[in-house]
Amino acid sequence: MVHISFAFAQLPDTQLDQKVTNVVTSMTGNKNFPTPKVTMANLSSAQLAFETAMAACPQGGTEATVIKTNARNVLVDLMRQQAVYVQGIAYDDLAILLSSGFDANSTSRTQAELDPTVVLSVDNEASTQLVVNLQPVDNAKAYEVQTSSGTGQWQHAGTYTYTRNVVVENLTPGTTYNIRARAVGGSTGYSIWSDPVSHMAT
């Protein structure tokens, strides 16, 4: 059984906010999680309250700090509930767990950090899709792929247990995407990200 990491609860405020964004993005429309414990609307609402409290905190004094702390506690509690739900669905499937945007605890006995993978090729196969081939990495359990376009942020595109013919879906035709990947496993849980490769979707 793979185990989800609850380390998000100890993240600094800004990083916690980013982690919640990743979970909301990854779980929205994710067929692996049809009935999430916490709806995306409720999680996003709690995140917005936390972001508002963070913005008010520098000028708000002690009262604003208390409000921010309370908002953070609510958000963390919802994330913990969601993590338990994801754990129950994923069970022993690391790819499904990682597709939620949550992280997994490393169970590898390998004491070295994994080597980075390499994006060997990106090709057009069907409209709105790109096919990616990655370089295999010894002791890797899976491979996480992200995409970005323009100056946008990196978005989770999927986690795969294979390196050949990885299909990235739901792309916009005519848009050039940057694609990067990292191996999952090893003593640190992940390798560093590969160098990005750009390719236009058709």
pLDDT of the residue at 91:
87
- Domain boundary pick from 69, 98, 127: 98
Backbone CA torsion sign across 142, 25, 83, 96: negative
**β partners of residue 4:** 104
- Structure tokens given for 74: 């609510």
pTM check: above 0.85: no
Q: Same domain, yes or no, for 40 and 82?
A: yes
**β partners of residue 184:** 142, 190
Is 108 inside any structural domain? no
Question: Rounded distance, CA 56 to CA 68, Å?
Answer: 8
Contact assessment for residue 182 and residue 117, using Cβ atoms and an 8 Å cutoff: yes
- Domain boundary pick from 43, 66, 98: 98
Is 65 inside any structural domain? yes
- Domain boundary pick from 33, 68, 98: 98
pLDDT of the residue at 60:
72
Q: Same domain, yes or no, for 94 and 135?
A: no
By the 10 Å C-beta count (0-12 exposed, 13-18 middle, 19+ buried), 12 is classed as: exposed
Q: Which residue has the tokens 């009262």?
A: 63
Q: What is the CATH number of the domain that holds 191?
A: 2.60.40.10
SS3 148: strand
Which domain does 124 fall in, by range? Answer: 119-200
Number of domains in the chain: 2
Contact assessment for residue 179 and residue 119, using Cβ atoms and an 8 Å cutoff: yes
pLDDT tens-digit profile, the chain (202 residues): 678 988 898 888 999 999 999 999 999 999 999 999 999 999 999 999 999 999 998 777 888 889 999 999 999 999 999 999 999 999 889 899 999 999 988 654 444 678 899 999 999 989 999 999 999 998 888 999 999 998 889 999 999 989 999 999 999 999 999 999 999 987 778 899 999 999 999 9
